[in-house]
Structure 1
Amino acid sequence: MLRQVKPKNARTKRVMDKREPKVVEGAKIALFLRGNATSQLVVDALHDLYALKKPFAVNFQKKNPILPFEDSSSLEFFSEKNDAGLAVCATHNKKRPHNLAWIRFFDYHVLDMIELGIVDYKPISSFHTVPIVPGTKPMMLFQGPSFDSHPVFRHVKSLFLDFFRGEPIQKLDSAGLSYVIVVSAGEASDDETQALPKVNFRVYSTKLLKSNTNLPRVELEEMGPRLDFSIRRVQAAQADVLGEALKKPKTQEPKTKKNVDVDLVGNKVGRVHVDQQDLSNLQTRKMKGLKRSAAEEEEEEEESEVEDEDVVSDVE
C-alpha cells in the first residue's frame, strides 16, 4: 500500500480530491500490463484493446513479474498508483498460451478476475475502416442465452460492460454511435466436466445512410479486432466484498411514492383505488343503430304478457 501524505500545495490537493469517492463515478481507468513472458500475438491484441479503451487507459511498455492468480500485490500497487479500477495482463507460456487476465479492483484491491485465452485473432490493421475516435462510447450486444443463465458467462458480461462503459452521459447524438461491440457465445451445459463454449468478440463500425423516414438506415461493417476467447481460470468476488462494492449511497436511492411503481422498462406505473361501482344505472351513449323498432317492442310486450298469464295459471 502507498503511504498517505498530506497535500503540500494546491496541485497535490486537487489530485487527492479527484481520487476521493464520488456519488457518480466517471469512467474507470484500465491498465494494460505485460508479464515476464509474452508472445507477439498477445501483445498485438493488447494494443488493439488499448485502442478501444483510450483515453481512459494506461499502457505499460515494459515487462513486469506479474502473476495475477498467484500474487496480486503488484497489481494492487499499480492500481493505487494510477487510480485504476481495471486491468488487463498479457502472459504466454506452454500451459496457457496467448493469455489475457482481466482484473477488476475495488478500493485498490482485486475484486474478481477471469482468464481468457486467445484462440483466434485478427488485428484492426487487417480491416480497411475508419479508426475509432478516442473517448467514443460503444454500443454493447450480448448474443446467447448463457449470458443470462450461466454464472461464468454472467461474470464475463458484467466485466465487459464495466470495462467499455465509458463516461456517464445524459444525452447522446446518433452520430456518436460510431461502433458496436458484439459478444456472442453458444449455450453452456450445466455439466462441469464439459468444456465451456468459446466467447466471440467482434467490433463493427456503423454507417448512417439516408432512408425514407426520419431515422437513418444503419449498416454494420467489421472494423476489428476479431477475437475468439476460451475461458480458463475464474476467480469470483467474495460475497461480503461484492456487497460492499455494489452498495449505493442514499442520495442515489429513488424516493418511494405511495401507489407508484416503475416497471422493468422504466415506465412509471400508478395504482388508483376507487369504490365499488353499480354499473346497472350506468348512462351509456344512445346510438340510432341500437334503437329498437316499434315492432320489436310490441313483440316483447306480447311475450311478457304471455309469461304473466302462464305464471297466474300455475298459481291457480
Structure 2
Amino acid sequence: MDSLDRVVKPKTKRAKRFLEKRAPKLTENTKNAMFIKGGNANSAVTEALKDIYALKKPFAVLYKKKNISRPFEDPTSLEFFSKKSDCSLFLFGSHNKKRPNNLTIGRMYDYHILDMVELGIEKFVRLRDIKNSKCPEGTKPMLIFAGDAFDLSEDHRRLKSLLIDFFRGPAVPSVRLAGLEHVLHFTAVDEKIYMRSYKVLLKKSGCKIPRIELEDMGPSLDLVIRRTHLASDDLYKLSLKQPKALKPKKKKNISHDVFGTKYGQIHMQKQDLDKLQTRKMKGLKKRPAEKKTGNEHSLKKAKLG
C-alpha cells in the first residue's frame, strides 16, 4: 500500500481541515493543474510550461525540478504527484531525438490517468516576446474552437473536452462586461492545433455597445498531435456520473414543450358560480324588479320547506 493511500486520523484541527478540503464533495472545487518537466526537457519546453502556467494561475502547481518520467510507459509517478498535490490536471514537458519539444496534457479520475494526449511543438512564441499589455492573473478566459476536426474526429473531440477542462477556470454565477478580457482560440487545420491568446479591448463606438478589438498577448503555439491515451467508453461515462443529490427532482404536473415553454396542471374543486365574487360596479347591481322576484322565489322555497 502506498503511503498516501493509508487512512490517517487527524491529530490537530489544521490536519482535520486539510483532510476535509480534500474529501469528496457534492460541488467539487476548481480543478488544479500541475506542470512537470521531464529529465531531458530543453529551454523551449521549459518556457512553454512557464507561459501556460502563467495563464492557469492561481489554480496551478509548477514543479521546477526535473523528473525522469515517461507518462505513456509508466504513469505511476504522475499519479503519485497528482495525489500529493491534489491536482486532477497535468501538463508534462519532455524532449528527445524521436519526439522533440513534447507536451503531454492529461487529466485524472480518482488519481488515475483518464485521458492523455501528446502534442509536439512546431512553433512557439513566448509570452515575453510580445510586448503588448497582459491580462491580470486569474482572469477567466473565453474559449473558442474553430475547425471541423473538433466535431468529426474522436481524438480531436476528446482533446477539445480536455482543453475546456484545463482552461475553463472557476465556475461563476455571473460575469461583468469588463471581466471578459481574455480569449483563448484553438484552430484545428490539417492535423495541427493552433493555440492563440488574445486580450479583449473595449473601445468607444458612439453607442452603448463598445467596439471590440483583439490584441495578441501570447503565448502562441503551433502543435501537432502525436500519441493519445483515451479512456474506454465505460470509464469515461463513469467519470461523468453525477451524485443523486445534484440531479434535479422531477416535479409533478409540470411539463415542457419542444420550445422550452413550461406548463403546469392545477387540480381544483368545482366552483359554485352563484357565489362567485364579482367586481362591484353600478352596471352589475340588481334592479328593484330583479330583487323583488328574487325575494318571492326565496319565500316560495321557504313555504315548500
The two structures share one fold, judged by TM-score above 0.5: yes
Identify the residue that residue 4 of structure 1 maps to in structure 2: 7
The reply to whether residue 33 of structure 1 matches residue 27 of structure 2 is no
The reply to whether residue 42 of structure 1 matches residue 19 of structure 2 is no
Distance of 2:105 and 2:123 partners within structure 1: 18
Secondary structure at 2:205's aligned position in 1? coil
Secondary structure at 1:113's aligned position in 2? strand
Identify the residue that residue 198 of structure 2 maps to in structure 1: 204
Provide the aligned C-alpha RMSD in A.
Answer: 1.7
Distance of 2:14 and 2:263 partners within structure 1: 54
Secondary structure at 1:237's aligned position in 2? coil
Q: Size of the alignment, in residue pairs?
A: 261
Deviations 1:17-43 (A, max 9, x none): 011112222221111001111111111
Identify the residue that residue 219 of structure 1 maps to in structure 2: 213
The reply to whether residue 179 of structure 1 matches residue 173 of structure 2 is no
The two structures have a TM-score, normalised by structure 2, of 0.82
> Residue 56 of structure 1 is aligned with which of 56, 59, 69?
59
> Residue 77 of structure 1 is aligned with which of 76, 80, 85?
80
Distance of 2:236 and 2:256 partners within structure 1: 27
Which amino acid in 2 is paired with 1:180? Answer: V
Which amino acid in 2 is paired with 1:101? Answer: T
Deviation at 1:268, TM superposition (A): 3.2
Deviation at 1:210, TM superposition (A): 1.7
Deviation at 1:166, TM superposition (A): 0.9
The reply to whether residue 245 of structure 1 matches residue 265 of structure 2 is no
Deviation at 1:262, TM superposition (A): 7.9
Secondary structure at 2:128's aligned position in 1? helix
Which amino acid in 2 is paired with 1:206? Answer: V
> Residue 255 of structure 2 is aligned with which of 239, 254, 260?
260
User: Structure 1 stretch 121-130 or stretch 81-90: which is displaced more?
Assistant: 121-130
Note the residue ranges of structure 2 that are not aligned, 5 or more in a row. Answer: 266-305
Distance of 1:138 and 1:239 partners within structure 2: 29
Deviation at 1:271, TM superposition (A): 5.8
The reply to whether residue 235 of structure 1 matches residue 237 of structure 2 is no
Note the residue ranges of structure 1 that are not aligned, 5 or more in a row. Answer: 187-195, 274-316
Identify the residue that residue 121 of structure 2 maps to in structure 1: 118
Report 1:84-233 matches (<5 A).
84-186=87-189, 197-233=191-227
Is the Cα contact below 8 Å between 1:32 and 1:89 reproduced in 2? yes
Deviations 1:282-308 (A, max 9, x none): xxxxxxxxxxxxxxxxxxxxxxxxxxx
Which amino acid in 2 is paired with 1:241? Answer: L
Secondary structure at 1:6's aligned position in 2? coil
User: Identity across aligned pairs (percent)?
Assistant: 45
Deviations 1:184-207 (A, max 9, x none): 012xxxxxxxxx610000000000
Secondary structure at 1:124's aligned position in 2? coil
Deviation at 1:211, TM superposition (A): 2.1
Is the Cα contact below 8 Å between 2:30 and 2:170 reproduced in 1? yes
Deviation at 1:129, TM superposition (A): 1.8
The two structures have a TM-score, normalised by structure 1, of 0.79
Which amino acid in 2 is paired with 1:96? Answer: R
User: Structure 1 stretch 36-45 or stretch 211-220: which is displaced more?
Assistant: 211-220
Secondary structure at 1:125's aligned position in 2? coil
Is the Cα contact below 8 Å between 1:117 and 1:232 reproduced in 2? yes
Shift in CA distance, 262/93, structure 1 to aligned 2, threshold 3 Å: farther
Is the Cα contact below 8 Å between 1:260 and 1:268 reproduced in 2? no
Which amino acid in 2 is paired with 1:221? Answer: E
The reply to whether residue 15 of structure 1 matches residue 18 of structure 2 is yes
User: Structure 1 stretch 214-223 or stretch 154-163: which is displaced more?
Assistant: 214-223
